Structure 1
Amino acid sequence: MKKTTRNLLIGACALLLVGAGAATLLARQGGNKASAASAASATSATATGSGAPRAALTVSVDQPRHLDLPQRLEANGNIAAWQEAVIGSEVAGLRLTSVRVNVGDRVRAGDLLASFAAETAQAEMAQSQATLAEAEAAAAAAQADAARARTLSNSGALSATQIAQYNTAAITAQARVEAARAAVATQRLRLKHTRVVAPDDGIISARSATVGAVTPAGAELFRMIRQGRLEWRAEVTAADLARMRPGLPATVHPPGGDAVSGRVRAIGPTVDVQSRTALVYVDLLPPDGGTMGARAGMYASGEFQLGNAPALTVPQSAIVLRDGFSYVFRVNADNRVSQLQVRTGRRDGTRVEVLEGVMPDMTLAVDGAGFLNDGDLVRRAGANAQ
């Protein structure tokens, strides 16, 4: 029994050894076949030339061009009234009976804005007229007495002293007439001032008049933007002040509103010692047929149009921004690209001025430049594949 078991174990071991040898032989044969296939594939690739470096991207190219671009000078400043008229009370002690306008109303020169009670002024006017009539009557009597005295000067009926007294009385009476006439004129003017009228065309910007109030002379009743004109007081640095001149066009961008055109009216004669800026006064021109979005008190940005000047420009899509710097990619003769740092300037549409970093004879990658890296191989758009 033991002998039989030993024979069985020996047979099983023999079978295992035979199977392992067969597996090793098959593996070796498969490896040789794979190596042969790889070698054949490499030979085929070498023969067909498909092992050459492939282009990373197909890009369009362009060269820098000289163009005339507009020159602009940006600035900030306050929008204010060109002139603001203060309309006040010119009479004292009278009650305000009506207010005809409110803030934002447009008025014409001579329009009635408010009125005071005129009864007191009318009564004082009547009293002054009566005083004038009395003075005129007294003056007429004095003039008649003086005339009669002068006719008797040669008769000796009156002394020279008496005649002089009559003449003096006549002159004094005439002076009282003139004083009474002045009083009548004053009362007529006071009566006129019970009507508060607009001194010019404009827009009411503030109102402090209240019906029923008794105001002192000189008290402010209204404020008015004369002729509705606004101006932009742009803050320009001393270095740029020499580029300013009257009549220069400007564009102002009020916050939340449409752009407003304007022209430089005046240039401030002094420079602020703290900010080192000067004020340039720009008359704003409201658009036809509508109200402009600018309002007095706004702080707005804008730019001055300084004319055109030549510039070396490249397409905007050729500029790549990386790490806070601007770059372009020059396409070399071998179709590899070189990354160049540039400094940009003015912009106009799709063209950007390049101040330094490129030359006019360079060929630059345009579309697809943002996906390139220094040294990449590219294919020029429209070129046949090699």
Structure 2
Amino acid sequence: MSLQRSNSRQRIVIAIVVVLVLAAAAFFLLRKPDTKADAGPAPAKAGAPAAGTQQRPTLTVTVAAPEEAELTIQLPANGNIAAWQEASVGSEASGLRLADVRVNVGDRVKKGQVLATFAPESVNADVAQAKAALVEAQATAADAAGTAKRARTLDATGALSQQQINQYVTAEQTAKARVEAAKAALAAQQVRMGNTRVLAPDDGVISARSATVGSVVQAGTELFRLIRQGRLEWRAEVIASELGRIAIGTPAVVTGASGAQARGTVRSVAPTVDPQTRNALIYVDLPSLQGADATPASLKPGMFASGVFELGKSRAVTVPQQSIVPRDGFNNVMVLQPDQRVRQTKIEIGRRVGDRVEVTTPLPADAKVVVQGAGFLNDGDLVRVVDAPGAGAAPAAPAATAPPAKSN
């Protein structure tokens, strides 16, 4: 029994020793070396240029100097397009049936062209009756004139009293008056006959039609509306403070919702200002709807349109539109520095012409702004400048030649 106990104690001691040996071995194997004692010089930080080496540029770019140009001074405005004059074509005949309608909305018509006709049967009958009444009146007048002539010849003989002679003369004059009345009645019926044809009062374009075949209309009823001479106008609204800059004859460019443009000139300036909006109307004549310089078909009366008045020209400094970088709600350009780094400069822009934009913020006289690749740069980046495409060098793609250095 004592021997078994002794063997058990030995096994426990051996197990404890083995565990201690394994723990010591693991400690020495996993222990980190002392960097202070063994390490050499500290390695360079990631992204920092090594001693004796040159930092690589962030991007390959093209630059351009600001240029002076003569730009048009423009005053923007908004307004509606309307017909220059719109004529109302109606019926002058009363109680007649509309027999034929010959035009429709959008048709171009000439002055005097027949637009519609009324049934002429009843008017023809009235004309015939008036002609018969005229013939009757003329016959009566001829008889009365003969009687009055004979009575005058008997005046010296005393065969007839003066009262009878006066009666015959009066009858003659009354008969003549009835002839004139019959002629007037015939002329009125002939006018009614002419009114059975509705004619265009001027050259133009039919803008509305209410005429319906078979309807019986009264005098004054509107049948058509006509844009006279096909002319349109732009009624632009301009604030009162800008009225002094616009004169009659000032050119303007009008742009519709579809992008179609038309050039016109100021015809008149309203003599009053709206007391509610404090705006005044400027009437701009646009080309007619016909001809080589016609107003585009997409510009129609009633349409809202924007436009600009061309007030003259002035000198301005411009840069390529590609060089402008919008950031944080501001416009910026990247100005190249002598050390080949760029400086982000906030600017104010003005007019645009083609692919160039006016810069109203003063720039240095010898400034050069980054054009190709400007949107990929940050303030202080180092760049490599190449010639712009077409200037004698192959175009360079705006791709980074080296990844930008990361800041720690």
Q: CA–CA distance in 1 between the matches of 2:12 and 2:298?
A: 111
**Counterpart mapping for 1:100-139 below 5 A:** 100-139=102-141
Which has the larger share of helix? 1
Q: Which amino acid in structure 1 is aligned with residue 122 of structure 2?
A: T
Determine which of 308, 311, 314 is the counterpart of 2:316: 311
Q: Which amino acid in structure 2 is aligned with residue 378 of structure 1?
A: L
Relative distance call for 1:305 and 1:322 in structure 2 (3 A) is same
**Counterpart mapping for 1:47-126 below 5 A:** 49-50=52-53, 55-126=57-128
How many angstroms does 1:113 deviate by? 1.9
SS of the aligned residue for 1:356 comes to coil
Q: CA–CA distance in 2 between the matches of 1:64 and 1:191?
A: 76
Q: Which residue of structure 2 aligns with residue 288 of structure 1?
A: 292
**Counterpart mapping for 1:146-185 below 5 A:** 146-185=148-187
- CA displacement 1:337-383 (0-9 Å, x = unmatched): 43332211001122211122534343333333323333x14235049
Determine which of 177, 185, 188 is the counterpart of 1:186: 188
How many angstroms does 1:136 deviate by? 1.3
Question: Unaligned 5+ residue runs, structure 1?
Answer: none
Relative distance call for 1:25 and 1:141 in structure 2 (3 A) is closer
Q: Which residue of structure 2 aligns with residue 345 of structure 1?
A: 350
Q: CA–CA distance in 1 between the matches of 2:61 and 2:242?
A: 41
Question: Unaligned 5+ residue runs, structure 2?
Answer: 1-5, 388-408
Relative distance call for 1:187 and 1:14 in structure 2 (3 A) is closer
Q: Which residue of structure 2 aligns with residue 358 of structure 1?
A: 363
Q: CA–CA distance in 2 between the matches of 1:97 and 1:205?
A: 21
- How many pairs align? 377
Q: Which amino acid in structure 1 is aligned with residue 105 of structure 2?
A: V
Q: Which residue of structure 1 aligns with residue 398 of structure 2?
A: none
Relative distance call for 1:257 and 1:90 in structure 2 (3 A) is farther
Determine which of 197, 201, 204 is the counterpart of 1:202: 204
Deviates more, 1:163-172 or 1:73-82: 163-172
SS of the aligned residue for 2:128 comes to helix
Asked if residue 367 in structure 1 is aligned to residue 372 in structure 2, the reply is yes
How many angstroms does 1:224 deviate by? 1.7
Q: CA–CA distance in 2 between the matches of 1:265 and 1:216?
A: 38
Asked if residue 297 in structure 1 is aligned to residue 297 in structure 2, the reply is no
Q: CA–CA distance in 1 between the matches of 2:186 and 2:132?
A: 9
How many angstroms does 1:106 deviate by? 2.2
Q: Kindly, what percent of the aligned residue pairs are identical?
A: 50
Asked if residue 379 in structure 1 is aligned to residue 386 in structure 2, the reply is no
Relative distance call for 1:54 and 1:169 in structure 2 (3 A) is same
Q: Which residue of structure 1 aligns with residue 394 of structure 2?
A: none
How many angstroms does 1:39 deviate by? 6.1
Q: CA–CA distance in 2 between the matches of 1:245 and 1:212?
A: 51
Q: Which amino acid in structure 2 is aligned with residue 353 of structure 1?
A: E
Determine which of 269, 272, 297 is the counterpart of 1:270: 272
Deviates more, 1:332-341 or 1:100-109: 332-341
How many angstroms does 1:227 deviate by? 2.2
Relative distance call for 1:279 and 1:26 in structure 2 (3 A) is closer
Q: CA–CA distance in 1 between the matches of 2:262 and 2:279?
A: 23
Q: Residue 58 of structure 1 contacts residue 378 of structure 1 at CA under 8 Å; is this kept in 2?
A: no
Cα RMSD (Å): 3.5
Deviates more, 1:315-324 or 1:242-251: 242-251
Scaled by the length of structure 1, the TM-score of the pair is 0.83
Relative distance call for 1:379 and 1:211 in structure 2 (3 A) is closer
Deviates more, 1:265-274 or 1:329-338: 329-338
